[in-house]
Structure formats: C-alpha cells, structure tokens
Structure 1
Amino acid sequence: MSSTPFIAVEGPIGVGKTSLAKAIAEHYNFQLLKEIVEENPFLGKFYDNIDEWSFQTEMFFLCNRYKQLEEIQGQYLSKQIPVVSDYHIFKNRIFAGRTLKDGNLHKYMQCFDILTEDMPVPNVIIYLNASLDTLLHRVRKRGRFIEQNMEPAYLEQLAEDYETFMTAFKKQHPEIPVLSFNGDELDFVAYEADKEKIFSLIDATLKKGEVAR
C-alpha cells in the first residue's frame, strides 16, 4: 500500500460523502475525486424499475469508476500527490449484491475482479452512516431529480447492506484503518466543531500509520 494519503469517504446515499470529501480536500490541500452519478444515463430508469435496469446501471458505474481510479493513479498517487475520494470502487459490490440477480451478478463480479485487480487501494477509509430519517431528509434537501422516485425501503436496505459490508471489511482488512461517524450525531456541514473532530481523528490516523502528507 502506498504511503501517499488516499482517503476514501464511504456510506449510503445521502449521508454526506461528497460534502465531507470536499472539506477534507480543502483542509489538507488534497486532490478531490468525485464519483460520476448524474451522468449515468440509466440511473433515472433504475429508480423507476430496479430489476429492469440494474445491470446496465451497475456496469456504467463500474466502467467509469475504473477509468477514474486509473487516472488518479497515473496523474496523482504515482507522483505522491494525496487524494481524497467521495467513494471507493468496493461500493460496487454492495450495490450489485443488492440489485443484480444470480446470473447477472456472476457476470458482473467477473468483470469487477478483472478491472479492480491492480487498482489503487485507500490507506484510510471514512465510513459515514445515519438513520433512514436522516438519509431521506438529506436526499430530499439536495433535490436531485433522478433520486425523487427512490423507494425509502431501498435506501433503508442499502444502509443495512453497508453496515454488513463494513463489518466484514474491517475484519478482512485490518491494515486499513476505518474511521466511523454517525450522521445523526455529527453535522460537519452546519457545525465547525464536528468537522474539526473529524479532522483531528484523520490527523491521528495519518500520523499513526506514518502516511506522508
């Protein structure tokens, strides 16, 4: 794993990943990597009919995230330029596992394993979670048109899937520190003290791991 900081912010839809990643990029002067969301031509159809459009949606995200990470590796991490991302490509496993049927999931995972075999791995992960009420409030507040038909049950299940995945991830990858924050208790957008608390833990984690800054 590289000593150059590569921080990935993860969590379910609406939890505040992009807002926190932007704040980290500004505070530490890191390069910001934002996931492609609204550019996905299948996403609106996906929220209308998950079964019909899940494979196309997930494949679009996989290919675009692969391309982004490939560029980040070549343009920044390989030159010791720190990066913070509002996602990591492992999230594709969470979404695909929830939305794809057995046959398509098998095909998808074959593609995933090939594409991610030598992708850069974050050396710090920040995991944000929150209750369904908080997630729904933030999704509605940001007002993305393509998310307006999202079923609350889908979002609730997704949050549970994240919890399950992250619990397993921490056991499988003890070498990668995971900083977890509850979005019901912290509001780093509204309160500077909450943001500083997160920065303080990032500082300690980077120092402990002797990650260069």
Structure 2
Amino acid sequence: MMNTPFITVEGPIGVGKTSLSKAIADHYQFHLLKEIVEENPFLGKFYTNIEEWSFQTEMFFLCNRYKQLEDITKNYLQRNKPVVADYHIYKNLIFAKRTLKKEQYDKYVKIYEILTADMPTPRLIIYLHASLSTLLTRIAARGREIERNIDPDYLLQLSEDYEIAMAEWEKNNPSVPVIRLNGDSLDFVNNKQDLITIFKQLDQHFQKGASSNETTRQI
C-alpha cells in the first residue's frame, strides 16, 4: 500500500478541488474519491448561522470522511489501486478551529485523533489557492443552493487559515511533497495547456517514486 499512489487535492471552498481531482483521475485512471458535501443536512443552516450549527456540521463531515477513507483503504489502496481524493481529512481541523468554541474544539480534536490514527497518509498533496474574488466567482458559477449564503468574510478567513495550516503540514510532514497551484493564474478547467502543465509536474513526482523528499514547488 505504501507504494500505491494516493493523492489529495486541497484548498478553500470554490477553488476547484473536485474539478482538478476529476481531471487527474481521468488522465491517470485513478479511482476518484469525492467528499460528501451537499448530503450534509446541517450545511445550509451552518452558512446561515455558523455559531449555532458548527459542531453538528463538523461532526457529520468527520464521520463521513473517516468512513470514506476506511473504504478506499480496504477496497483500493490495500489492493494497489491508485486513488485521488478531492480532500484531505486534515481539513477537518482547519474548519473546526475556525468555527468551534474552545470547549467543543478540544473534544473534537480528541475524536479526530482517535479516528485518524491509522488512516492512510497521502504520498502527495496538491494545494490550490486563489484570491477571494476568484473564489466568489467560482462559487457563484457552480450555483449550489446551500452555498448561497456564504459570508465573504468567512471565506477570506478560511483562505488565511489554509495558508497557515498548509505551512504547518509541510513543517510536520516533510516526507509528503506539496505542490502549490495558484488558482488566479491557472484555469485548468477552461485552459487545456494549464492542465497539461499540472500533469507534467505530477509525472515528475511519480517518476521519482514514493521515497523522494522534494522541495515544495510554486507554479
């Protein structure tokens, strides 16, 4: 399982994680793992009243992501079948730290650590980031009803939280390379050349193998 490619794509809401994950899955014939979003019964209420519905929302995401990772480990990674996911379960701590009260967060972290203790670690993380204006434009374009009430200030804070969290991840997990992609300058959905550029960089990582310890790159 350690030599089986397991890639996760991360970044704030609306940055294009699922679109890029789908493209990678199609190009390399990887299994695509998509996070459960709209199925969360608390999410719409969360965007309307974050303080009231944050704990329920975060717990739903944590339990479902745990179950998804458990399934792909058994059905794919342990059978040497590559996987690309449009999230890393580490994101739960990013969101929870922003939205939960201290007492709730402390309890949440304990549950998170128990559930993720034996979860698979990705061999590569692709981190997408973009300006607030780009995120808002893409969120509006996909037209999800549950995202209609997202507060731009919350989205901006989330982007800043991601920057901090990804820097901490790189510091604490030097064996897991991180590719940073700027969503303001890369339009991999509408520009085929941008997507080819990303694939070329992924090819380099695959060729160097699971044991390489590469420097984080910025496109």
When normalised by structure 2's length, the TM-score is 0.95
2:201 matched residue in structure 1: 201
1:64 matched residue in structure 2: 64
Matched, 1:36 2:45: no
Aligned AA for 2:151?
E
The DSSP-based 3-state class of the residue aligned with 1:54 is: helix
| Runs of 4+, deviation exceeding 6 Å | none
Distance 1:95 1:189 in 2: 26
Taking CA–CA contacts closer than 8 Å with sequence separation of 6 or more, which of the two structures ends up with the larger relative contact order?
Answer: 1
Deviation at 1:210, TM superposition (A): 4.4
Aligned counterparts, 1:127-146, within 5 A? 127-146=127-146
2:154 matched residue in structure 1: 154
Aligned counterparts, 1:10-49, within 5 A? 10-49=10-49
Distance 1:176 1:160 in 2: 22
Distance 2:209 2:101 in 1: 40
Deviation at 1:38, TM superposition (A): 0.2
Q: What is the Cα-based RMSD across aligned positions, in Å? A: 0.9
The DSSP-based 3-state class of the residue aligned with 1:8 is: strand
Aligned residues: 211
Distance 2:51 2:17 in 1: 26
Contact 2:123–2:210 at 8 Å: present in 1 too? no
Aligned AA for 1:6?
F
1:171 matched residue in structure 2: 171
When normalised by structure 1's length, the TM-score is 0.98
Mind listing any 5+ residue stretches in structure 2 that lack a counterpart?
212-219
Deviation at 1:176, TM superposition (A): 0.2
Deviation at 1:171, TM superposition (A): 1.1
Deviation at 1:209, TM superposition (A): 2.5
Distance 1:180 1:120 in 2: 21
